[in-house]
Amino acid sequence: MQLASGHVHVYTDEEMFAQLDPRVFDMAERNLQIPDIRYMGYTPDVHVGVGTCIGTTAVWNKDGGIVSPSIVGSDIGCGMRVHLTNLHRSDVQDLRLRRKLVNRIEKYLPMEAHKRSPFSDLKMENIVQKGLRGLPNKYLPDGVSAKCSPSLTHVERARFDFDPEELNAVANNYWVKGLRQLGTLGGGNHFAEIQYLEISEENRELAEKWGMYDGQVVVMIHSGSRAWGAMVSQHYTSMAARAMTRLGLGTADPKLIFAPLDSPEGDRYVNMMASALNVAVVNRHLIAFAIREAFLDVFGSEFEMNILYDLMHNYAWDEQHGGQDWFVHRKGATRASGRSPGQPRRL
């Protein structure tokens, strides 16, 4: 779609396009005013957010590009995770069993913060710097060692590297709060659901290759980087806003914050964003770990719960396409990266 400031690509059909809130195009107009933007796209379910729409992909050149905390979003690294179990829906029909399972999940999985963290053997510094690779083997139940665990391969990245120098500026209370919130859902639209699959006849052969079958019980998780990501968003978005003032940058929307990648503020944000991505993927992993413990309490040692995928939808990072280096933002959007059934996700 052509707007005054450029093109926004909307991936939808005519019927859904006609139902889109007109404000999403007003927001696109302002997003396209950010200098040197190379590409902007919307998903079919795009809807208005703060600064930018949920369902946005925005791309700059890596060299001389821009990073926008507003497009990344406040819950850095928020994403979805799905685990397949070896249970059928018929195994969880009994109401008393369901209540017992819910009670056990609530024992292991708080909404907000642990009163006393069950992960006291973890060091927040390891999680922040090493992501899933900072976890001891006991938290990787799906592999005989950390090197061959699907928990590390069926995610976008097990570890996001960055310059740890910026961590010296983090106040001590955020380290403590970050650890207490590991393995918790948080509020808003975050959830952990026990679901079952309904697979149409024409898709059953393909589903079988992925280890899925009709009536299979699955676990879906939606959460992000919790207190750590909130800290990064709050402090480093403010820094980026000051950079805009210093450099004379801006758009028609004062809530749309961005900074050049080569500015001190942009560089600091990118480094701390990576730390929050590490926390986010570990947080979802530990939520799944807690739910698995609850199922084991109820169904015994024969219970299995294997990861299918973990995908983020609030982030920005380097990607290479067509032999060029890009800096890609996604807010409420995921990467479309095909793979064969059973193939580890290494992106």
Per-residue pLDDT 10s for the chain (347 aa) are 787 778 999 999 999 999 999 999 999 999 999 999 999 999 999 999 988 999 999 999 999 999 999 999 999 999 999 999 999 999 999 999 999 999 999 999 988 888 777 887 899 999 999 999 999 988 988 754 555 688 888 898 999 999 999 999 999 999 999 999 999 999 889 999 999 999 999 999 999 999 999 999 999 999 999 999 999 999 999 999 999 999 999 999 999 999 999 999 999 999 999 999 999 999 999 999 999 999 999 999 999 999 999 999 999 999 999 999 999 999 999 988 655 455 544 33
Distance in angstroms (rounded) separating the CA atoms of residues 186 and 225: 9
Q: What is the pLDDT of residue 346?
A: 37
pTM reported for the whole predicted model: 0.93
For 273, the token pair is 């964003």
C-alpha atoms less than 13 angstroms from C-alpha of 66 in its C-beta half-sphere = 28
* Sign of the alpha-carbon torsion through 87, 89, 95, 98: positive
Task: Please state whether beta strands 39-47 and 9-10 pair in parallel, antiparallel, or not at all (unpaired).
Answer: parallel
As given in the structure block, the two tokens for residue 201 are: 């006849």
Cβ neighbors of 252 (< 8 A, separation 6 or more) are 29, 30, 33
The whole-number pLDDT of residue 339 equals 55
Burial of 209 (0-12, 13-18, 19+ CB in 10 A): exposed
What is the torsional sign of CA 130, 133, 138, 140?
positive
Query: Do residues 229 and 178 touch, judged by C-beta distance below 8 A?
Result: no
Q: Which pLDDT belongs to residue 3?
A: 79
Helix (H, G, I), strand (E, B) or coil at 103: helix
What integer pLDDT is reported at residue 316 of this predicted model? 97
- Pull the structure tokens for residue 50: 């703060």
Sign for the pseudo-dihedral over CA of 92, 95, 99, 102 = positive
- Closest among 53, 143, 176, 127 to 281, alpha carbons compared: 127
Q: What is the pLDDT of residue 117?
A: 73
For residue 344, what pLDDT is reported?
44
Reference 329, options 79, 40, 81, 46; nearest CA is 40
Domains annotated on the chain, with CATH: 74-311 (3.90.1860.10)
SS3 of the chain: helix, strand, coil, percent, to 5: 40, 20, 35
Half-sphere exposure of residue 34, counting CA atoms within 13 Å on the CB side? 32
Residue type, 111: M
